[in-house]
Amino acid sequence: MFELENFNTNDIPEMQLDQDIFNLLCEDETAEELSIKAIKQIVRLEQILQWFSTNQLSYEITFEAEEMQKVFEKIHKI
């Protein structure tokens, strides 16, 4: 799960889950310890950050779980 501070989540448009990224992660050994729900959260986070970048919004990310951070860093480079 992720939280947003100082930002109203209602301002983020609804987005379909990026199936290409999701499928890549499901097949990647880096994500093999994560649940499907966690993988979907990472994909959603990546989509939100892409939206932030498009709208020139700054952000900072802090992960509580090292496994999720490793998987996110892998897709964030795609």
Domains of the chain by residue range: 14-76
Q: Measuring CA to CA, which residue among 72, 61, 54 is closest to residue 4? A: 61
pLDDT at 59: 83
- The pLDDT profile of the chain, 78 residues, written as one tens digit per residue, is 566 777 777 888 889 999 999 999 999 898 989 999 999 999 999 999 999 889 888 888 888 889 999 999 888 875
Write the DSSP assignment of the chain as a string of letters: ----SSS-GGGSPP----HHHHHHHHH-GGGTTS-HHHHHHHHHHHHHHHHHHHTT-------S-HHHHHHHHHHHT-
pLDDT at 62: 87
Q: What's the farthest any 2 CA atoms get from each other in the chain?
A: 35
pLDDT at 11: 81
